[in-house]
Structure 1
């Protein structure tokens, strides 16, 4: 089941982000334990764009000439910084959305698409929503997405102890439901 046998995880139930983080991390553990490999392509692209963005800022800051002489370099670096930072925001907004994990297809499976796992825990709400979908919904191998919405009170005691086994089972059932779903029809 969980990765840390016998170790109880306890959190502050007033910390919305801690609740979501522990649930999201456990979802990733469950999915990866089932043989799926994490697809880091989007993360690597975001990191590459971030490094380029920082490089433009560093060039603008440390270019060896003083101000009036370096004006064209400063203008170019500022424009490139804005362009790449905007591109990063577009990727986060359009592609990443609420996704916490992208995977490759299972090793040895006939599917050509992995999983796209997303979650939501609205502020001031106890309803956690977990969705499993195909990472390429346009693929002929794509399954219909499945969703689970439950109160976090089902997985935490009143003193903040995480009932990891119960949550692990719920995620496993949702994954089983996704894998048994028929493929989408075009």
Structure 2
């Protein structure tokens, strides 16, 4: 990865409401996705597509229950089956979110021309009432033989934002790129 893409010019600076941790986390997560994508990693949207499909099925079930041509006493069994299906598919959706997605903001494929067979799972945390942002880069398939150990960056968001809430992208880019480089480096062989 000798070709590093230049940092984006901040013509339209990213600004967050410093009193809203969701706003801060959203801007940081969005920027992390841009940085990782600029390093040659392509986003893997398969899990998102599965979630969208399950959400669509849930909506269709709800619409069938709402607009079924018979009125209540006659459609009781149909409504019960719709409710059961709604609960099952919603539970499946929550299970996927809880077990696979967790705090992940981005899943990627391995970069083109790479020797590794696994992409990245990028996740972040910014607890409520805290200024400590934790960014973790791990293998999308931790059981793979080519998976590197996860790396983590923990810093106060005050290091990346001005007092007006503008993201200082240059500093943030350097921190995130250093973390990606740390993950990508070859582990030292033991003798």
Match of residue 24 from structure 2: 19
User: Offset of 1:4 from its aligned partner?
Assistant: 4.9
Larger mean CA deviation between 69-78 and 25-34 belongs to 69-78
Structure 1's 30 and 141: CA in aligned 2 closer, same or farther, altered over 3 A?
A: same
Runs of 4+ deviating beyond 6 Å: none
Match of residue 137 from structure 1: 142
Which of 158, 162, 165 in structure 1 is aligned with 2:167? 162
User: Offset of 1:181 from its aligned partner?
Assistant: 4.5
Q: Secondary structure at the match of 1:23?
A: helix
Inter-partner Cα distance in structure 2 for 1:69 and 1:2: 64
Is 2:52 the counterpart of 1:41? no
Q: Secondary structure at the match of 2:44?
A: coil
Structure 1 residue runs without a partner (length 5+)? none
Please give the TM-score of this superposition, normalised by the length of structure 1. Answer: 0.95
Inter-partner Cα distance in structure 2 for 1:178 and 1:7: 30
Q: Secondary structure at the match of 1:100?
A: strand
Is 2:88 the counterpart of 1:66? no
Match of residue 172 from structure 1: 177
Larger mean CA deviation between 85-94 and 175-184 belongs to 175-184
CA RMSD of aligned residues (A): 1.7
The answer to whether the 8 A contact 1:155-1:163 is kept is: yes
Q: Secondary structure at the match of 2:133?
A: strand
Inter-partner Cα distance in structure 2 for 1:183 and 1:76: 57
User: Offset of 1:183 from its aligned partner?
Assistant: 8.6
Which of 124, 130, 137 in structure 1 is aligned with 2:129? 124
Inter-partner Cα distance in structure 1 for 2:76 and 2:8: 55
Corresponding residue pairs, total: 185
User: Offset of 1:68 from its aligned partner?
Assistant: 2.1
Structure 2 residue runs without a partner (length 5+)? 1-5
Please give the TM-score of this superposition, normalised by the length of structure 2. Answer: 0.92
Match of residue 11 from structure 2: 6
The answer to whether the 8 A contact 1:144-1:184 is kept is: no
Inter-partner Cα distance in structure 2 for 1:18 and 1:73: 43
User: Offset of 1:69 from its aligned partner?
Assistant: 1.9
